[in-house]
A and B are shown apart, each in its own frame.
Chain A
Amino acid sequence: MNVPIDDNLITYLEDLSYLTFSDDEKNRLKAELKDILGCMARLGELNVENVPERSHPFDNVNAFREDDALPSFDRGLILQNAPECDGEAFIAPSAVAG
Chain B
Amino acid sequence: MMTHDLSALELSRAICAGKLSVLEAVSAAIRLARQNEHNAFLSVAEESSVRRAKKVQEQINAGEIHSPLAGVPIALKDNISAAGTKTTCASKMLGGYTPVYNATVVDKLERAGMIVIGKLNMDEFAMGGSGETSAFGTVLNPWDKSRVAGGSSAGSAAAAASGEVPLALGSDTGGSIRQPCSFCGATGIKPTYGAVSRYGLIAYASSLDQIGPIAMNINDSAALLSVISGPDGKDSTCIIDKAFDFPGGEENQSPGVKIGLPRNYFGDGIDEDVKIAVLAAAKEFEAAGAVVEEFDMPLTDYMIPAYYIIACAEASSNLSRYDGLKYGYRKDGANTLVDVYRHSRSEGFGIEVKRRIMLGSFVLSSGYYDAYYKKALQTRALIKDAYSKLFERFDMILSPVAPTTAYKIGENIDDPVKMYMGDIFTVSVNLAGLPAVSLPCGFDKEGLPVGFQLIGDFFAEEKLIRAAQVYQNLTDHHTKRPGGRC
Which A residues are closer than 8 A to B by beta carbons? 1, 3, 9-10, 12-14, 16-21, 25, 29, 32-33, 35-37, 39-46, 48, 51-58, 60, 63-66, 73-74, 77-78, 80-84, 90, 92-95, 97
- One of B306, B371, B432 near A44 (C-beta < 8 A): B371
Q: Mark B157-170, 1 if CB is under 8 A from A, else 0.
A: 00000000000000
A residues in contact with B309, CB < 8 Å = 40, 43
Q: Which residue of A lies closest to B301 (CB)?
A: A42
Q: State in angstroms the CA–CA spacing of A62 and B185 once bound together.
A: 41
A residues in contact with B433, CB < 8 Å = 56-58
Let me know if A90 and B326 touch, CB within 8 A: yes
Residue B357 at the chain A interface, CB threshold 8 Å: yes
Q: State in angstroms the CA–CA spacing of A21 and B316 once bound together.
A: 16
Q: Mark B100-121, 1 if CB is under 8 A from A, else 0.
A: 1100000000000000000000
Let me know if A94 and B336 touch, CB within 8 A: yes
Distance (Å) between the CB of A10 and the closest chain B CB? 8
Q: State in angstroms the CA–CA spacing of A73 and B102 once bound together.
A: 12
Let me know if B361 and A16 touch, CB within 8 A: yes
Residue B233 at the chain A interface, CB threshold 8 Å: yes
Let me know if A36 and B308 touch, CB within 8 A: yes
Let me know if A13 and B358 touch, CB within 8 A: yes
B residues in contact with A40, CB < 8 Å = 305, 308-309, 372
- One of B193, B365, B376, B431 near A43 (C-beta < 8 A): B376
- When A and B form their complex, which 9 residue pairs have the shortest distance between CB atoms, in order from nearest? A57-B433, A83-B330, A53-B377, A81-B327, A63-B236, A48-B378, A54-B381, A16-B361, A40-B305
B residues in contact with A17, CB < 8 Å = 316, 345, 354, 357-358, 361
Residue B98 at the chain A interface, CB threshold 8 Å: yes
Distance (Å) between the CB of A96 and the closest chain B CB? 9
Let me know if A33 and B359 touch, CB within 8 A: yes
Q: Which residue of A lies closest to B432 (CB)?
A: A57
B interface, by DSSP: helix, strand, loop or mixed?
A: helix
Distance (Å) between the CB of B146 and the closest chain A CB? 26
A interface, by DSSP: helix, strand, loop or mixed?
A: loop
Which B216-251 residues sit within 8 Å CB-CB of chain A? 233, 236-237, 239
Query: With A19-B342, A54-B380, A60-B239 given, is the CB distance from A93 to B336 under 8 Å?
Result: yes
Q: State in angstroms the CA–CA spacing of A97 and B101 once bound together.
A: 37
Which B residues are closer than 8 A to A by beta carbons? 96-98, 100-101, 193-194, 207, 233, 236-237, 239, 299, 301-302, 304-306, 308-309, 316, 320, 323-330, 334-343, 345-346, 349, 351, 354-355, 357-359, 361-362, 365, 368, 371-372, 374-382, 384, 416-417, 420-421, 431-434, 458
Let me know if A19 and B357 touch, CB within 8 A: yes
A residues in contact with B345, CB < 8 Å = 17-19
B residues in contact with A32, CB < 8 Å = 355, 416
Distance (Å) between the CB of B297 and the closest chain A CB? 15
Q: State in angstroms the CA–CA spacing of A46 and B305 once bound together.
A: 12
Give 21 pairs: A residue, B residue, CB < 8 Å, sorted on A: A1-B368, A18-B338, A18-B345, A19-B354, A20-B342, A20-B343, A39-B417, A43-B372, A43-B376, A45-B301, A51-B378, A53-B378, A54-B377, A54-B384, A57-B431, A74-B100, A81-B100, A81-B326, A81-B327, A93-B334, A93-B335
Distance (Å) between the CB of B239 and the closest chain A CB? 6
Let me know if A93 and B337 touch, CB within 8 A: yes
Q: Which residue of A lies closest to B192 (CB)?
A: A57
Let me know if A82 and B194 touch, CB within 8 A: no
Let me know if B372 and A83 touch, CB within 8 A: no
Q: State in angstroms the CA–CA spacing of A14 and B341 once bound together.
A: 12
Query: With A39-B420, A43-B372, A80-B100 given, is the CB distance from A29 to B239 under 8 Å?
Result: no
A residues in contact with B432, CB < 8 Å = 57
Let me know if A33 and B358 touch, CB within 8 A: yes
Distance (Å) between the CB of A42 and the closest chain B CB? 5
A residues in contact with B431, CB < 8 Å = 57
Known: A18-B341, A81-B327. 7 other contacts (CB 8 A): A1-B368, A3-B368, A17-B361, A36-B416, A36-B417, A51-B381, A81-B100
Let me know if A36 and B336 touch, CB within 8 A: no
Q: Which residue of A lies closest to B347 (CB)?
A: A20
Query: With A19-B354, A39-B417 given, is the CB distance from A73 to B346 under 8 Å?
Result: no
Q: Identify the interface centre among A51, A78, A83: most chain B CB within 10 Å of its CB.
A: A83
Q: Identify the interface centre among B335, B339, B378: most chain A CB within 10 Å of its CB.
A: B378
Query: With A48-B378, A48-B379, A52-B378 given, is the CB distance from A19 to B336 under 8 Å?
Result: no
A residues in contact with B299, CB < 8 Å = 46
Let me know if B100 and A20 touch, CB within 8 A: no
Let me know if B337 and A94 touch, CB within 8 A: yes
